[in-house]
Amino acid sequence: MLSVKKPTSVKGMLLALLLPAGITLMGVAWFVHGLLLERMSREFLESRLKDEAAFLEHQIRDVEGRIELIRTGDYFQDVFHHAFAIRTPEQTIVAPDTWEPLLTPLLDRETDGAQRLEDIDTDNRPVDILAFRQSFWVNETPVVVIVSEDLEALKRSQAELHAWTAVVSVLLIVLLVAVIWIGITLSLRPVVTLKRALRKLQDGEISRITVQSPDEFLPLVLQLNQLLDSLDKRLERSREALANLSHSVKTPIAAVRQILVDDDRPLPSELRHQLAIRLSDIDKQLEAEMRRSRFAGPQVGNTAYPVKQARDLLWMFGRLYPDKSFELSSSISEDSRWPIEEHDLNEVLGNLLDNAGKWASYCVELSLKQIGDVKQIIVTDDGPGVDKDDLSNLGQRGRRLDEQTPGHGLGLAIVREIVARYSGKIRFATEPRGGLRVTVEL
């Protein structure tokens, strides 16, 4: 069995789809043209034969049925271009004479109207004719009139016209192929431009794609630039994390190393305890920077189910803080998705709930809302709250209130960093009855 290879290029695919469709439509149009041409020709011929029969009837009535009067003169031959036959009880006229064997049987019939005779077995006479028979009375004299046409000549004219239509159709197909080729080439020109831009980007000549592109390619260009921004931010975060890590652990490691290489100094329990504290600080710093490096930021195609994740986290914190109540209020449905990476949403919710759980007296409330394109996360606790003067310092480095307390997340500073990566906002407020209210908008 022969297998048809699928085109690998867009241009080949479009040609493979459009060209056969165009040829098929042209073939169908040519076939329908043949049918309509035959039908219209026959209808036109029947109308013309009917008009000539009516004209002949008018002439006969003018001479009061004496057909010998209209037989004389040459005006009859000048008017009529078809074979005809006239019969009265006294005489019969057939012109031209060679058509007499064809028209005489029609004179004997009793049915008026258009009639067709095909496959006639005659010598040197038409084998396919169309005739119109009309009978009437003139002064109580029956008259039968027949006007007929040779369809073979008409068919030859139709065949010639149909052949020329086929030639024109072939030329139109060639023109269609050329137009399709030019159209595809022009339509794919932005792809070539984009390809050159990507090559320049790879070679380091440009840092972002700034080519002019049609509306269909604009989302692709925007997503590519967004991906480049994300990669640059990741690289910047990695460098920052390495710099922070190097700065943070360099001094403690040097101090520990100095103590360990000094063979003359014993290791009393107090010094041993200080070494353990220093190593614990290094471990916390390593954990913080490693977890911070895992934050993804906005990623195309990544979404999260906020209600489901919130329920899971509330269940976990309810067991982590069994003496406190964690409640959820949501105006969005269970299957609603937010365009945020799942791990990032877990970090935001987890750090906010962990912070509220540590400081709450009895209750922590999580609220999820969506107003238009804005997604809101509101966490409220009934703890001691924060002084108004310190609200602006929350989430800044060095001001994490629970930094030294082991728990789920890395504190409000991590939440602030994640929200900033999503171009969001975070606000801190003190509840009228005490406690802290944190509002995150994405």
CATH code of residue 136: 3.30.450
Confidence check: pLDDT of 257 > 50: yes
Q: Is residue 2 part of a domain?
A: no
- Same domain? For 260 and 312 the reply is no
Q: How many domains does the chain have?
A: 3
Instruction: Output the domain CATH number for residue 346.
Output: 3.30.565.10
- Same domain? For 340 and 364 the reply is yes
Q: What angle separates helix 342-359 from helix 306-320, to the nearest 10 degrees?
A: 40
Summarised one tens digit per residue, pLDDT across range 121-136 is 666 566 777 888 888 8
For residue 267, the enclosing domain spans 218-293
Residue 291 confidence class, pLDDT cut points 50, 70, 90: low
Q: Measuring CA to CA, how many Å separate 148 from each of 78, 132, 343, 362?
A: 16, 6, 90, 108
Q: Is residue 167 part of a domain?
A: no
- Same domain? For 223 and 115 the reply is no
Q: Is residue 254 part of a domain?
A: yes
- What was the pLDDT predicted at 153? 72
Summarised one tens digit per residue, pLDDT across range 355-367 is 888 888 889 999 9
Give the residue carrying structure tokens 């068919």: 155
Residues 6+ apart with CB under 8 A from 60: 67, 70, 86, 138, 143, 145
Which region among 158-167, 379-388, 392-401 has the lowest average model confidence (pLDDT)?
A: 392-401
Summarised one tens digit per residue, pLDDT across range 160-216 is 877 888 888 888 888 888 888 888 788 778 878 888 888 887 777 777 887 777 777
- Same domain? For 15 and 148 the reply is yes
Q: Is residue 176 part of a domain?
A: no
Question: Do 388 and 430 contact (CB within 8 A), yes or no?
Answer: yes
Question: Do 436 and 383 contact (CB within 8 A), yes or no?
Answer: yes
Q: Is residue 270 part of a domain?
A: yes
- Same domain? For 288 and 315 the reply is no
* Residue with the larger pLDDT of the pair 27 and 279: 27
Q: Is residue 58 part of a domain?
A: yes
Output phi, psi for 388, to 5 deg: -60, -30
Question: Against a cut of 0.85, is the pTM above it?
Answer: no
Element containing residue 8 per DSSP (H, E): none
Confidence check: pLDDT of 298 > 60: no
d(CA 240, CA 221): 28
ω into 432 cis (within 30 of 0)? no
The encoded tokens of residue 231 equal: 């990669």
Confidence check: pLDDT of 433 > 80: no
- Same domain? For 22 and 127 the reply is yes
- Same domain? For 321 and 423 the reply is yes
> What proportion of the chain, given as a percentage, has pLDDT over 70?
75
3-state secondary structure of 377: strand
- What was the pLDDT predicted at 224? 82
